[in-house]
Amino acid sequence: MKSRPLIFVISAPSGGGKTTICRSIIRVCSGVKLSTSLTTRKRREGERKNFDYHFVSQKEFLKKIKQNAFAEWATVLKNYYGTLKKNIEAPLKQGKNIILNIDTNGALQIKKIYPEAILIFILPPSLDVLKKRLVGRKTDSQHEIKKRLNLARKELSFVKNYDYAIVNDSLKKAIRKVESIIIAERCRVIKK
């Protein structure tokens, strides 16, 4: 019995661990590809161009919106982020599972277009822990951290729209739980 290719969406507030979890999953789960989103924000230290994101100008991003090239896109803290339709559909046609590392707005857009998509929300143990993580990564000003925490409060209200929720109080455990979800979904019997 051959399993069908699946779309997994992983969301979390900034600093919740979704990028680290996604990177780990593509190493431990065979046949899973990470979709690389486009963004207009500046590249952070340590990020790799065309791996972490495709960094593009606002003009180029807006052109792709007009071309209806995105499966989902959003403006987050004055920067554009989006996933191209071709970055989802090409791996699926090759029989690969795809993981999207996107925010709640994007996840809901994906669910409308691809209702079979599996949505996984990564929760921080608390907002205090989330604040410590944001401060600890030393990429944002205090003002930016405050904006990210306010956005996190809003994003947490979307958990009810997800298929799974995982508290990231231990990175190893969170990765294992996401891996378990992927394994279980690959084994799911398709009812017609």
The domains found in the chain, sorted by start residue, are 7-187 (3.40.50.300)
Task: For 33-60, write each residue's pLDDT tens digit.
Answer: 999 999 999 888 777 787 788 999 999 9
Average pLDDT over residues 10-23: 90
pTM: 0.88
Average pLDDT over residues 62-83: 93
User: Distance between CA atoms of 105 and 75, rounded to whole angstroms?
Assistant: 9
Q: How far is CA 114 from CA 17, 28, 110, 119, 187, in A?
A: 24, 25, 6, 11, 19
So what's the pLDDT on residue 139?
77
Average pLDDT over residues 58-79: 93
166: exposed, middle or buried (Cβ count in 10 Å: 0-12, 13-18, 19+): buried
User: Confidence class of residue 87 from pLDDT cuts 50, 70 and 90?
Assistant: very high
Average pLDDT over residues 18-35: 92
So what's the pLDDT on residue 59?
96
17 Cβ contact list (under 8 Å, min separation 6): 122, 124, 133, 168, 171, 174
